């Protein structure tokens, strides 16, 4: 038997004591006199603090040696358990002490059940024994064998396990077993919030963690299971060998999701955005979202004309869908299943971003109307870092969504990998303990337990606006996909699975045995499902139901994707009066606001001087873009690491009072209508936060949604989001996005990770007009570019190579007049006379200023330096027009700061040939000028960097005859 702690006031009993104290506050007579005496000593000073001073008895009064208080002084009353030590050991006192010792042991066991009962729960549908857990503290106490038969018959304090204050110990132990060691195991005692713990205690212990379902409710659960199983069986026989990532073994997911929607609908839930990977996805599409099985079967058949889908589209188990779901309670809930790539958990932050956008747009400040529901696999949940990144967003003000319901389909195996090889924790959900949230483990072969948990967590989420996790412990009847043989690597497990009845079969037998739903009725439900699926297949084969994903509906109707050509240019200029007024307002702070003296000098006073010179730097070009968009009613949202101030201290979009810490956001002075300006410093995360902002952009087509990397190269931490969603979303799923990426880029001798934003990666992803890649070099250009992103109807992701040293470089300035007319210039021509040009240098970014300085020092008008401000879509016609105006041109070079194997060179090389061919005026010498090939983006030594930069400029301007090095 495990050793009990001696003190009944030990920390392990704090929940018991808090519960008694709460009851005492409501009705002092409802608690035992010994506890009432103890609580009275607290004098109503808040929750009781049980410390050494409080529980020590007063010194005994020895006759003739009274204290200074005098003979009439009374000793303070002592707690009953301590007072017994002062009195002779009479029989009643001994009995009381024995009762207290028994109660102390009882309380220890209650605490153990609550804390460790999940380790004794019967969670595995396959019935395999759990690994030894004796090394886990207190797990040995999860048992009633610590008490004698006589003790089990005694009355003890129920510690709020029952509504009654005292019950027989055997009744108490029976309830604890049924609550914590049956088909449901719960981890919740780690939670710091005692209010939520007590809420869960009441709902779990008073009900013994089960629901007494009516016959109609049981029939409904059986029907849901029958459709889930029938759908998989139908596909298995009609599309033999086809991948479908079946739900077989985890069919309880379907009635669970149904229960969440029923309870959520009654508690104000009106929209759910769902993210899930492959397993069970087709089943959820048809049995929860209501996608017609005809359409799903048609996707197995494929399109009638394959040519129409060359180079685009996606596999059926990646596709999304949306519908309106009617609950049995009469509520309508809009459901959206997000499109999902094979990077299983990458969709998590995307779903969170979509939900936050819907909440912000719909004014759901309480965050109870729209909920994220994420369905994970066990191996992916514990294995992929984006899960932790997403969990960490849960309580951050810029990203909170009012709680996510996480549902883990626990196959108890990865593709071929056993849990012992894929995690270091007992549970795959251990990661969720980073949050102050409960985790429910439930046996997937007990559908009533599954539905009970689903109902409970839906109520919990709506009540506390908190994440909650369900671990649905099930199995995978077939392999990772239906063409795989799992017995190669898990022969023992699959020997059990082959003989194991389905959950629908087990539940139907159970209902028949209890006289709830007769066997013939269960069979009739099963046959009805199969008949409906058979009819759907006939319809699909008679007339193809194949449909591409819906697009450009609702909010997206005014916008378009496809090629940039045909989209009219928009004027992004703003009147000088408006710009001057905005700039003036950006210098103002509330009366009494104490600005940091350096911020006042370098930002506010600098802007005041700009009103005189009308010469702007980068920060002002960017800020005026935001201010004018906000004043025109458009939303602007910016997030990323340290974006409020800006990594390079250029933005200062949020000012902090140096004395009070109060914050002031100048740009919020410009909001009109539904416009809002949100800017959030993000956690140190790229993949999670960029995924969130991409998701946000999917539901805010009429706003400017920006993610900024601290340094451009850090975007490689979000490469999955860039590759699978941003670059390919339109091609795969017909989903448009106007997400904007600001990636600081430029070679200033700051080393490999602080130089390159990996421009080459974005250019290699560029095709079919999928994204925009820009490299602006002036404040006017960023002003027009950001405004163009919102004002024209084309919606494409925008990737901006944004500056570092150009933020304050004296040459990189713009006159206010440059912001008053026109639009973003994709190409900025040189000012030299093209008629005399013999050498044309094409470049992008900071190197332009180095080249111009060297060229102007030589006063060589035979060299033209043209800035390519938009690399993709490539402005071929405009460049070809410039080249055609240079009759003496003999040399055309691409100049870049990046190494030859990086940057834009490999993208530009074929396009330079196309420009030369289009010119038709004699041969052109084409070449590259820049750094040599390198495995690392940049040197880590400033002196070496300076030498490399000098050599680039010399080769371009002074010699210009070497075709690279």
d(C-alpha 432, C-alpha 390), whole Å: 10
For residue 19, give the H/E element and its range: helix 14-26
CA 186, 190, 195, 196 dihedral sign is negative
pLDDT grade, residue 312 (50/70/90)? low
Q: Which one has a higher pLDDT value, 915 or 299?
A: 915
The stretch 658-665 carries a mean pLDDT of: 96
The span from the CA of 660 to the CA of 663, in Å, is 9
pLDDT-derived band at 50, boundaries 50, 70, 90: very low
DSSP 794: B
| % of the chain surpassing 70 pLDDT | 90
Tokens of 548: 């591409």
Q: What is the pLDDT of residue 16?
A: 63
Does position 242 have pLDDT exceeding 90, yes or no? no
User: Which position has the higher pLDDT, 327 or 242?
Assistant: 327
% of the chain with per-residue pLDDT over 90:
76
pLDDT at 808: 93
pLDDT at 245 exceeding the cut of 90: no
Which residues does 174 contact at the CB level (< 8 Å), separation at least 6?
Answer: none
pLDDT at 552 over 70: yes
Q: Whole-number mean pLDDT of the chain?
A: 89
Tell whether the model's pLDDT for residue 49 goes beyond 50. Answer: no
- Indicate the pLDDT class of residue 564, thresholds 50, 70 and 90: confident
CB contact set of 645 (below 8 Å; sequence gap of 6+)? 651, 652, 653, 654
- pLDDT over 70 (residue 506): yes
For residue 92, the model assigns a pLDDT of 60
Give pLDDT tens digits for 841-875: 999 999 999 999 999 999 999 999 999 999 999 99
Per-residue pLDDT band for 181 (boundaries 50, 70, 90) equals very high
Over range 610-619, report the average pLDDT. 96
On whether the CB atoms of residues 38 and 48 are closer than 8 A, the answer is yes
Exposed/middle/buried for residue 768 (C-beta within 10 Å: 0-12, 13-18, 19+): middle
Residue 2 has pLDDT above 80, yes or no: no
Q: What is the pLDDT of residue 762?
A: 97
How far is it, in rounded angstroms, from Cα 818 to Cα 781? Answer: 9
User: Most distant CA pair in the chain: distance in Å?
Assistant: 125
What integer is the mean pLDDT of 34-53?
A: 57
* Total residues found in the chain within this entry: 965
Half-sphere exposure of 600 (CA within 13 A, CB side): 8
Place of tokens 């204050």: 165
**Per-residue pLDDT tens digits for 186-203:** 999 999 999 999 999 999
Model pLDDT for residues 126-169, shown as the tens digit of each residue: 999 988 877 787 888 898 888 999 999 999 999 999 999 999 99
pLDDT of residue 53: 37
CA distance 344 to 380: 7
DSSP string, 259-289: HHHHHHHHTT--EEEEEE-STTHHHHHHHTS
Higher pLDDT, 459 or 342: 459
The Cα 721–Cα 738 span in angstroms is: 14
Residue 749's nearest CA partner among 929, 896, 933, 946 is 946
Checking if the pLDDT of 219 tops 60, the result is yes
* pLDDT computed for residue 698 by the predictor: 96
* 723-736 tens-digit pLDDT: 999 999 999 988 99
For residue range 733-787, list pLDDT tens digits in order: 889 999 999 999 999 999 999 999 999 999 999 999 999 999 999 999 999 999 9
The pLDDT value given to residue 51: 41
Confidence band of 267 (pLDDT split at 50, 70, 90): very high
In this model, does residue 58 exceed pLDDT 60?
no
Provide the pLDDT confidence category of residue 14 given band limits of 50, 70 and 90: low
**Least confident piece of the model among 70-84, 122-136, 788-802:** 70-84
- The predicted pLDDT at position 151 comes to 94
CB–CB of 406/469 below 8 Å?
Answer: yes
Is residue 310 very low, low, confident or very high in pLDDT (cuts 50, 70, 90)?
Answer: low
pLDDT of residue 91: 58
In the predicted model, is pLDDT for residue 5 greater than 50?
no
Which of 329-338, 423-432, 482-491, 671-680 has the lowest average pLDDT?
A: 482-491
pLDDT tens digit sequence for 447-502 = 999 999 999 999 999 999 999 999 999 999 988 777 788 889 989 999 999 999 99
Rounded Cα–Cα distance for residues 932 and 903 (Å): 12
SS3 (DSSP) at 337: strand
SS3 473: strand
Spatial separation of the C-alpha atoms in residues 133 and 867, rounded to whole Å = 67
Dihedral (C-alpha) 444, 445, 447, 449: value to the nearest 10 degrees? -70
Q: What is the structure's pLDDT at 138?
A: 82
Q: Give the pLDDT mean for 619-624.
A: 98
* Per-residue confidence band for 416, with pLDDT thresholds at 50, 70 and 90: confident
The pTM assigned to this predicted structure is 0.90
């Amino acid at each position: 038997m495990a050793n009990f702690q001696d003190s009944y006031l030990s920390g392990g009993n704090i929940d018991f004591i808090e519960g008694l104290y709460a009851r005492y506050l409501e009705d002092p007579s409802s608690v035992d006199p010994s506890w009432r005496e103890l609580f009275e000593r607290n004098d109503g000073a808040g929750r009781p603090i049980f410390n050494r001073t409080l529980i020590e008895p007063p010194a005994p009064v020895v006759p003739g040696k009274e204290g200074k208080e005098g003979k009439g002084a009374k000793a303070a009353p002592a707690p009953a358990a301590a007072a017994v030590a002062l009195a002779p050991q009479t029989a009643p006192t001994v009995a009381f002490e024995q009762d207290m010792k028994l109660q102390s042991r009882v309380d220890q066991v209650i605490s153990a059940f609550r804390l460790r009962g999940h380790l004794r729960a019967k969670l595995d549908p396959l019935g395999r024994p759990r690994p030894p857990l004796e090394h886990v503290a207190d797990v040995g106490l999860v048992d009633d064998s610590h008490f004698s038969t006589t003790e089990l018959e005694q009355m003890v304090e129920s510690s709020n396990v029952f509504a009654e204050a005292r019950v027989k110990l055997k009744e108490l132990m029976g309830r604890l077993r049924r609550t914590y060691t049956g088909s449901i195991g719960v981890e919740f005692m780690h939670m710091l919030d005692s209010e939520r713990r007590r809420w869960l205690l009441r709902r779990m212990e008073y009900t013994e963690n089960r629901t007494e379902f009516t016959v109609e409710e049981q029939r409904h659960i059986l029907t849901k299971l029958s459709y889930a199983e029938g759908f998989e069986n139908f596909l298995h026989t009609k599309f033999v060998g086809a991948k479908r990532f079946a739900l077989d073994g985890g069919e309880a997911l379907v009635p669970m999701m149904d229960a969440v929607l029923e309870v959520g609908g009654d508690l104000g839930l009106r929209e759910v955005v769902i993210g899930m990977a492959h397993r069970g996805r087709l089943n959820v599409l048809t049995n929860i979202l209501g996608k017609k099985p005809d359409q799903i079967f048609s996707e197995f058949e494929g399109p009638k004309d394959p040519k129409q889908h060359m180079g685009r589209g996606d596999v059926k188990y990646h596709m999304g869908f949306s519908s309106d779901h009617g609950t049995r309670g009469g509520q309508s809930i809009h459901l959206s299943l997000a499109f999902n790539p094979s990077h299983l958990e990458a969709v998590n932050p995307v779903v969170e971003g979509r939900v936050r956008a819907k909440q912000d747009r719909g004014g759901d400040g309480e965050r109870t109307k729209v909920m994220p529901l994420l369905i994970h696999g066990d191996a992916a949940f514990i294995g992929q870092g984006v899960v932790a990144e997403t969990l960490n967003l849960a309580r951050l003000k810029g990203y909170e969504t009012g709680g996510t319901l996480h549902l883990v389909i626990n196959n108890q195996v990865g593709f071929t990998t056993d849990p012992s090889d894929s995690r270091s924790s007992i549970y795959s959900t251990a990661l969720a303990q980073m949050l102050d949230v409960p985790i429910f483990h439930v046996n997937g072969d007990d559908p009533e337990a599954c539905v009970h948990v689903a109902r409970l967590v839906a109520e919990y989420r709506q009540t506390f606006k908190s994440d909650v996790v369900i671990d649905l412990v099930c199995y995978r009847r077939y392999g990772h996909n239906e063409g795989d043989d799992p017995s190669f690597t898990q022969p023992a497990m699959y020997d059990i699975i082959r003989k194991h009845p389905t959950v629908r079969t087990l539940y139907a037998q159970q209902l028949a045995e209890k006289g709830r739903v007769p066997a013939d009725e269960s069979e009739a439900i099963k046959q009805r499902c199969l008949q409906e699926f058979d009819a759907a297949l006939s319809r699909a084969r008679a007339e193809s139901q194949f449909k591409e994903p819906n697009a450009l509906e609702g909010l997206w109707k005014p916008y378009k994707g496809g090629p940039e050509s045909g989209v009219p240019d928009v004027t992004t200029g703003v009147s000088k009066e408006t710009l001057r007024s905005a700039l003036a307002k950006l210098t103002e702070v509330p009366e009494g606001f104490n600005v940091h003296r350096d911020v006042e000098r370098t930002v506010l006073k600098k802007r005041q001087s700009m009103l005189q010179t009308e010469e702007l730097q980068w920060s002002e070009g960017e800020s005026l873009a935001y201010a004018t968009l906000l004043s025109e009613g458009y939303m602007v949202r910016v997030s990323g690491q340290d974006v409020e101030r800006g990594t390079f201290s250029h933005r200062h979009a949020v000012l902090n009072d140096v004395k009070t810490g109060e914050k002031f956001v100048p740009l919020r002075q410009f909001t009109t209508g539904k416009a809002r300006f949100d800017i959030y410093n993000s956690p140190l995360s790229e993949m999670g936060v960029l995924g969130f902002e991409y998701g946000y952009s999917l539901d805010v087509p009429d706003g400017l949604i920006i993610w900024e990397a601290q340094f451009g190269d850090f975007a490689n931490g979000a490469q999955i989001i860039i590759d699978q969603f941003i670059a390919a979303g339109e091609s795969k799923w017909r989903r448009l996005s106007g997400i904007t990426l600001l990636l600081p880029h430029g070679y200033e001798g700051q080393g490999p990770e602080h130089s390159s934003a990996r421009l080459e990666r974005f250019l290699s992803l560029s095709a079919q007009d999928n994204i925009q890649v820009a490299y602006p070099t002036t404040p006017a250009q960023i002003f027009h570019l950001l405004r163009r992103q919102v004002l024209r109807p084309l919606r494409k992701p925008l990737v901006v190579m944004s500056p570092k040293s150009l933020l304050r470089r004296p040459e990189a300035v713009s006159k206010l007049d440059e912001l008053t007319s026109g639009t973003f210039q994709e190409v900025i021509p040189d000012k030299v006379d093209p008629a005399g040009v013999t050498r044309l240098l094409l470049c992008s970014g900071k190197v332009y200023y180095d080249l111009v300085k060297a060229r102007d020092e030589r006063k060589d008008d035979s060299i033209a330096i043209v800035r390519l401000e938009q690399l993709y879509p490539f402005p071929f016609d405009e460049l070809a027009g410039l080249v055609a105006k240079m009759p003496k041109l003999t040399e055309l070079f691409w100049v870049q700061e990046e190494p030859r194997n990086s940057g834009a060179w490999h993208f530009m090389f074929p396009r330079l040939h196309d420009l030369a061919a289009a010119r038709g005026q004699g041969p052109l010498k084409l070449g590259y000028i820049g750094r040599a090939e390198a495995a690392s983006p940049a040197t880590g030594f400033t002196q070496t960097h300076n030498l490399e930069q000098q050599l680039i400029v010399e080769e371009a301007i002074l010699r210009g005859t070497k075709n690279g090095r």
